Structure 1
Amino acid sequence: MTKAIVCAVAAALSVATLAHAESMQISANGSRPSAKGPDANFTGSVVVDPLYAASADTHNSGGLVSFEPGARSAWHSHPAGQTLIIVSGTGWIQEDGGAKHTVKPGDVIWTPPGLRHWHGATSSNGVSHIAITNVKDGKNVEWQEKVSDAQYLD
């Protein structure tokens, strides 16, 4: 991981990790099993590696999401917003009605609450990002319909 990415991740997580801690908690690598991204919410091959869950102290969750070439999320929104930190590869992200943007390692994307969007790999390259997703009333995402091939390639 590059120094810029490490700094971005550290800054984004510092509020969550420092808030009201009685003692440090270490979640050992390998203790959080990877999961395939559900077919209802993703097109193509997607792996989600949970990093941490929301709690009374953090109010957000974190995960490393890896998309193979051509893989993407469905349209969705986040009731309390989301930050993505691109850690490897090349991807695309698009808000409803907006232009599709190319994202690369070190890019940090803030998606405001309620903004309909999708993100994933390009058609020829995979991409991985850390997703820090805020929680509101116990919910962090509102899934919608899948992004069509025409929308994805447009």
Structure 2
Amino acid sequence: MRVSRLPQPSTAAPSEWVEGAAWVDEIATPEGQSRFRVDSVHFAPGARTAWHSHPFGQVLYVTQGAGLVQSRGGEVHSIRAGDSVRIAPGEWHWHGASPTTFMTHLAIQEVADDGTEAERGAPVTESEYTADTAAPPLR
């Protein structure tokens, strides 16, 4: 057993992955035979990821605030504290804060044997992000 003490230093999310300001706190990293990674990601209002996919999928659990999530070709959905989002392996998607509210979520994914966590695509444009400001809740 290994006990880690939080808080560890927050790191700014890389600008090639995120539009706007976001910070990442590592909760768990792959170790030994485990391939699971868990991060707490805190998005400023208007911040969002680029389009991306994960080889084994991803689970998001919103811990604070309100945000948006979209799969390629699907509707933009509102998410808020307490919501959980399951993203299928290889599914292209983006997620981030709402235009006016901070949002924090846990991002949980399995890392491939070669260390790959995600494949990054194009940035989410302003028109994609604001496509539906009255996004339906995810249910």
How many residue pairs get aligned? The number is 130
Question: How far apart are residue 79 of structure 1 and its match?
Answer: 0.5
Match of 1:45 among 21, 28, 34: 21
User: Match of 1:141?
Assistant: 118
Q: TM-score, normalised by structure 2?
A: 0.90
Structure 2 residues not aligned, in runs of 5+: 132-139
Q: 2:30 aligns with which of 21, 42, 54?
A: 54
Q: TM-score scaled by structure 1?
A: 0.82
| Residue type of the alignment partner of 2:120 | W
Identity %: 36
Alignment of 1:29-108 (within 5 A): 29-30=6-7, 32-108=8-84
Partner Cα separation in structure 1 for residue 69 and residue 100 of structure 2: 15
Q: Distance in 1 between matches of 2:33 and 2:55?
A: 18
Large movers: runs of 4+ above 4 Å: none
Show CA shifts across 1:27-82 (max 9, x none). Answer: 1113x321101111100010001111012332110010000100000000000111
- Show the 5 A alignment for 1:111-130: 111-130=87-106
Matched, 1:131 2:107: yes
User: Greater strand percent: which structure?
Assistant: 2
Q: Which runs of 5+ in 1 are unaligned?
A: 1-23
**In the aligned structure 2, how far is the partner of 1:59 from the partner of 1:124?**
35
Counterparts of 1:28 and 1:49, CA distance in 2:
12
- Name whichever structure is richer in helix by fraction: 1
